[in-house]
Structure 1
Amino acid sequence: MSSNSALPRVATRSRHRRTRSHRFLRFLVILGALSSALLIAFHQRVPDLFGLGLLLDNFAPWLGLAVIVVGLFAIISRSRTSLVVLLIPVLTWLFTFGPGIIPLSWTAPAAASSTLTLGSQNIKAGTGTATESALDLASGSSDIIALQELDENSAQRVTTALDAQYPHHFVVGTVGVWSKYPLVNSRALDLGLGWKRALSAQVQTDAGNIQIYVVHAASARPNDHVDRDEMLSQLATTVSADSHQNIIALGDFNATSTDRAFQKISDVLDEPNQDNGLFGFTWPQTPFAMMRLDHVLVRGLDVTSNTTANAGLSDHRAVLTTVNLPGN
């Protein structure tokens, strides 16, 4: 009799343990779902202590992986509440990043009779393949080629290799631009650094002038991104004060579009989506790209194509963007 009465008590204790574990798991799911949603939505508000803000900002799209982990726990918990709560970070991620990953091909205007294609790449100093990068971009029908991380020798080699097709060029420090169209009013920009890592010039086309800025922003590391922040801030100020109607800024910004320091420049210039959607990550090239540090930003111009490509042996993928020329 005592043996039989002990069985229900054992079963009851087992059910209680399962119930407690499921409740605890459900609590973890709710906590994880709300935490990940808050980080996705407000990562730029997290204090930049020990470089945490920089890391969160630039890896923000990857916070979606946390949602997947929380989703696995939600399935294990077998709780309807957990699955409903999981919708909060999912919808937050889609609301935050969804508009930026819609394919440009869905909404891009048709290419006009006159277009301008720009190719830009950080060629990675020391690889010795600046010329290969330039020729790869030239083969992609680029009308303007912008390169960053140049040294004196590589810039001269690029000029020699491109001279027949791109007779107009301007090089400043580590940045250079080569053009099929005449370049006027070219000037160096230090953007607060005290040395030159940027330039501006006017591209003269039959349809009118286009003001371009080529930028190689200072490096950004946890607890070491003051110079980069200053460059981006001064670039935004310079562009904001620029009276030209048609402007393009391109190069290696050493910041993703989700970086809080990038916000000032994205307030005055627009970045088009990728032709085939998603984020168009450009760095590192191998084993796979994890963030987009290289950008083409525009004002007053219709973008018909925007994509990335491999060129040379750089650790950055190149960006290729085509715009309709003014009046077309």
Structure 2
Amino acid sequence: MVERARARSHEASRVKAGASWWTRRRTGRCAPDGDTKGNASSRSAWRRGRAPAALAVLTAGLLAFHRAVPNSVGRLGSLLEAFLPWLGLVVPVLLGLALLRRSATVLVALLLPVAAWTYLFGGLLLPEANSAAYEVVAVQHNVSDENPDPVGTARALAGAGPDLIALEELTPRALPVYEKALATDYPHHAVRGTVGLWSKHPLTGSRLLDIKPRGLTKTWSRGLRTVVRTPHGEIAAYVAHLPSVRVGAGGLASSRRDESAGLLGKAVAAEKLRSVILLGDLNSTVDDRGLAPLTSRMNAAERGFAFSFPAVFPVARIDQVMARSATVVHLRTLPATGSDHLPIAARITLG
């Protein structure tokens, strides 16, 4: 009698143990081979971090399809594109989070924004390619109408040894200073309104370029077109300063800039000379669709980010050197001057 009771008790214990093992296996706390800890860790590594993984996918989508972001409300598309390279900062943040949480899902998802960013901007990080024998070096700088040291600014720009120097925000008081400081090395120059071009080579056909947007009643002359007679042929040089933009509660206010960019684009399209160089403060990055009338007709830099604004902590390159039937092979920033912009220097291969 006692032995039968013991047998029944032993059998009940075996059934209970089996049920407990099966429950642990179904809930992921026990592997078939008994390695409960390893199996749980493997499964949770793929389950953790779903929200950061979704953020990585969203970042990749914004990089790859930024043109799909509408501009109808607050010009959000242009605002995104003005700071598009900085979306790459999401990657190291999420990478640190993935390592901290040991999330395989986030690590895999991060491949998408890395690939998108590399496709868009990776080429700008490459070293400068060997340039051809025929080239022009040009410097572009918004010198600021509040620059306290125009003499020092002029000397700094000339010290880079460019063939061309384009300046914006020239004031009647500062203009004679720049003319005198640059006269020795740059005997040829043309100024229209607040923009000017200094050249080592002769200039001809200089004229005002009308890029004034509608609604402006005050004097506004920010465009110049001239022809540079280089040893390698004639180049049509355009200097422009597009209207400023503002970021507020309603988004990006850029309608005047976009209108002025359209007028400038039409002028470039009508230019009869084959080689064209555009230098200026365009108040926008080349990724911004607001500059599409120009970027659709001209080449941007192949190498170099050259963030130029603001000078204290540059976050965007709104000063541009672009070309048609020529190649801007490299851009770099020069040391700060008395302006709130940094100067940029471009190496341009003709042909």
TM-score normalized with structure 2 length? 0.79
Q: Which of 140, 156, 160 lines up with 1:140 in the alignment? A: 160
Structure showing greater relative contact order (alpha-carbon pairs closer than 8 Å, 6 or more residues apart): 1
Report the CA distance shift for 1:63/1:302 in structure 2 as closer, same or farther (over 3 A): closer
Which residue in 1 is equivalent to 2:62? 39
Q: By how many angstroms is 1:51 displaced?
A: 4.8
Q: By how many angstroms is 1:88 displaced?
A: 1.3
Question: Where do 1:1-328 residues align within 5 Å?
Answer: 25-48=48-71, 49-103=73-127, 105=128, 107-112=129-134, 115-193=135-213, 195-222=220-247, 223-274=252-303, 277=304, 279-286=305-312, 288-303=313-328, 305-324=330-349
Question: Is the Cα contact below 8 Å between 1:44 and 1:259 reproduced in 2?
Answer: no
Question: Is the Cα contact below 8 Å between 2:185 and 2:200 reproduced in 1?
Answer: yes
Report the CA distance shift for 1:67/1:211 in structure 2 as closer, same or farther (over 3 A): same
Question: Is the Cα contact below 8 Å between 2:302 and 2:328 reproduced in 1?
Answer: no
Q: By how many angstroms is 1:303 displaced?
A: 4.6
Say which SS state the counterpart of residue 124 (structure 1) adopts. coil
Look at both structures and tell me which one has the larger radius of gyration over its CA atoms. Answer: 2
Question: Is the Cα contact below 8 Å between 1:127 and 1:313 reproduced in 2?
Answer: yes
Unaligned runs of 5+ in 1: 1-7
Question: Is the Cα contact below 8 Å between 1:110 and 1:304 reproduced in 2?
Answer: no
Q: By how many angstroms is 1:273 displaced?
A: 2.8
Task: Letter of the 2:185 partner, please give it.
Answer: Q
Question: Is the Cα contact below 8 Å between 2:146 and 2:339 reproduced in 1?
Answer: no
Report the CA distance shift for 1:122/1:190 in structure 2 as closer, same or farther (over 3 A): same
Say which SS state the counterpart of residue 96 (structure 2) adopts. helix
Report the CA distance shift for 1:187/1:109 in structure 2 as closer, same or farther (over 3 A): same
Report the CA distance shift for 1:233/1:102 in structure 2 as closer, same or farther (over 3 A): farther
The number of equivalent residue pairs is 308
Report the CA distance shift for 1:111/1:131 in structure 2 as closer, same or farther (over 3 A): farther
Task: Letter of the 2:275 partner, please give it.
Answer: N
Unaligned runs of 5+ in 2: 1-19, 30-39
Q: By how many angstroms is 1:62 displaced?
A: 0.6
Q: By how many angstroms is 1:180 displaced?
A: 2.1
For residues 264 and 124 of structure 2, what CA distance do their matches in structure 1 show? 23
Q: Which moved more, 1:298-307 or 1:117-126?
A: 298-307
TM-score normalized with structure 1 length? 0.84
Which residue in 2 is equivalent to 1:3? none
Say which SS state the counterpart of residue 321 (structure 2) adopts. strand
Report the CA distance shift for 1:312/1:82 in structure 2 as closer, same or farther (over 3 A): closer
Question: Is the Cα contact below 8 Å between 1:219 and 1:225 reproduced in 2?
Answer: yes
RMSD between aligned alpha carbons? 2.8
